[in-house]
Amino acid sequence: MQIKVQAMGVYQTNCYIATVDGKDFIIDPGVNATSWVEKNVTNPVAILNTHGHFDHVWSNAELQKKLNIPLYTPKGDVMLLKESTWMPDLPPSTPDIEVQPEQEFDFDGVKVKFRHFPGHCPGCSMIEIADAIFSGDFIFERSIGRTDFPYSSPQDMRDSLEKFKKLDFDKTLYPGHGVNTSIKQEQQHTDYWIGTL
């Protein structure tokens, strides 16, 4: 698998293009992501949202239209695609697929699984493709997503971190902001973060 990344907008939100078996998956196309994505894909097949916050979904609709590919968004966050408390000028988007928690998809042999870890927001998910997991704003290097936003839940985040602790495999984590880390590396810190919530 080949992974390209570009930080977008003032919040430096990571937009990823994951290429597996010649298929390009666009993950979290944020502010002004369209031109970069268009220059870096050859066979785009889907847009995938880890969650619905504006800095991760800003270019959804533009890319849906320009590339003529479907948008997959966690069901719990679909309402966030229409309006943003922080960004009233958010371009609205409508997913082609409202993803259920833990739902898995098969793109002609390429498996894509949405692992549900709510807390930062109701639909917050990590997207697993081959040997990579795109962790959105659930887990970062030595940090976790904030739980003081509208629709956030500290209790859900605690439950999600307990669930994360129990993952019995290791893969590289590609977060929504910052640098790569791994499941095993961040599992060392989850008890600390649980204690802060």
pLDDT 10s digits, 12-62: 999 999 999 999 999 999 999 999 999 999 999 999 999 999 999 999 999
Entry field: residues in the chain: 197
Q: What is the mean pLDDT of residues 74-93?
A: 86
How many angstroms separate the CA atoms of 82 and 52, rounded?
10
Q: What confidence category does residue 85 fall into, taking pLDDT thresholds of 50, 70 and 90? A: low
Residue 84 has pLDDT above 80, yes or no: no
- Tokens at residue 156, please? 């859900």
- Residue 143: burial class (beta carbons within 10 Å; 0-12, 13-18, 19+): middle
Question: Looking at the predicted structure, is the pLDDT value of residue 87 above 80?
Answer: no
CA distance 34 to 143: 28
The pTM assigned to this predicted structure is 0.96
Q: How many domains does the chain have?
A: 1
Residue 92: per-residue pLDDT: 93
DSSP letter for 182, please. Answer: E
CATH number at residue 62: 3.60.15.10
Q: In terms of DSSP H, where are the helices of the chain?
A: 34-40, 54-57, 60-67, 154-165, 183-187, 190-196
To which H or E segment does residue 115 belong? strand 110-116
pLDDT band at residue 184, thresholds of 50, 70 and 90?
Answer: very high
Read off the pLDDT of each residue in 143-148 and give the average, rounded to a whole number: 94
Query: Domain range for residue 128?
Result: 2-196
- Is residue 88 pLDDT above 90, yes or no? no
46 near 107, Cβ under 8 Å? yes
Strand, helix or coil for residue 20: strand
Phi-psi region of 12 (alpha: psi -120 to 50; beta: other; left: phi over 0): left
Beta strand pairing call for 23-27 and 13-20: antiparallel
The sign one gets for the Cα dihedral 186, 191, 124, 102 is positive
